[in-house]
Amino acid sequence: MEESTYKVIVIGASAGGLKALKKIISGLPKSFCMPILIVQHLSPRSDGFMAHYFNQLSHLQVKEADEKEPIRPNHIYIAPANYHMLVELNETISFTVDEKVSYARPSIDVLFESAARVYLDRLIGIILTGANEDGAAGIRTIKSFGGLTIAQSPETAEVAVMPMAAIQTECVDLILSLDEISNLLSSLCNQG
């Protein structure tokens, strides 16, 4: 089989996201090839605990993203509290402190929309559990550029509002449980 046609994965989560992300991240094999960028809605005073916690559970390098950092394979980047995380055209990470989007900073929409403009049809966008509609506009943008869009099945989400909002855009390609998402991602990198 040919190498995966996808290059980067973006994931958005809110309420219940820590548990959902743990299931996905801990299930990825050491051979996993793609970078993953994550926005998890956090308290503005959050201290980077999440990256440290996931790094202990994962075969991959998990870290809080840094300004101007190049996006590299086998890495998972987590948006720091109180900053929007964006992907620049030169495939580096940048931050803004622009207004909150859907009451959130970092915002899932901001990450998804900037990544879609860089990676076009080579991007996978995933919406997990959460209690607002952040990510729905981003899913629409990823789909408009030909990327693959996935929502956690609402009945398996701790809080179904966010995946439901994404699904209601009619721009979601796959509705999957956390195990199915983890298996799908693992299989994409094992096609080489």
Global pTM value: 0.96
Please pick, among 41, 58, 102, 114, the residue that the annotation labels catalytic.
41
Q: Which domains does the chain have, with CATH numbers?
A: 8-189 (3.40.50.180)
**Residue 4 catalytic?**
no
User: What's residue 58's pLDDT?
Assistant: 94
Please pick, among 14, 102, 107, 182, the residue that the annotation labels catalytic.
14
Short-list 103, 106, 101, 155, CA closest to 129:
155
CA angle 96/69/16 to nearest 5° reads 65
**Residue 66 catalytic?**
no
User: What's residue 192's pLDDT?
Assistant: 43
Please pick, among 58, 109, 134, 182, the residue that the annotation labels catalytic.
134
**Residue 84 catalytic?**
no
Short-list 7, 53, 69, 3, CA closest to 34:
7
Q: What is the pLDDT along the chain (192 residues), one digit of tens a residue?
A: 345 689 999 999 999 999 999 999 999 999 898 999 999 998 878 888 899 999 999 999 999 999 999 999 999 999 999 999 999 999 999 999 999 998 999 999 999 999 999 999 999 999 999 999 999 999 999 999 999 999 999 999 999 999 999 999 999 999 999 999 999 999 887 654
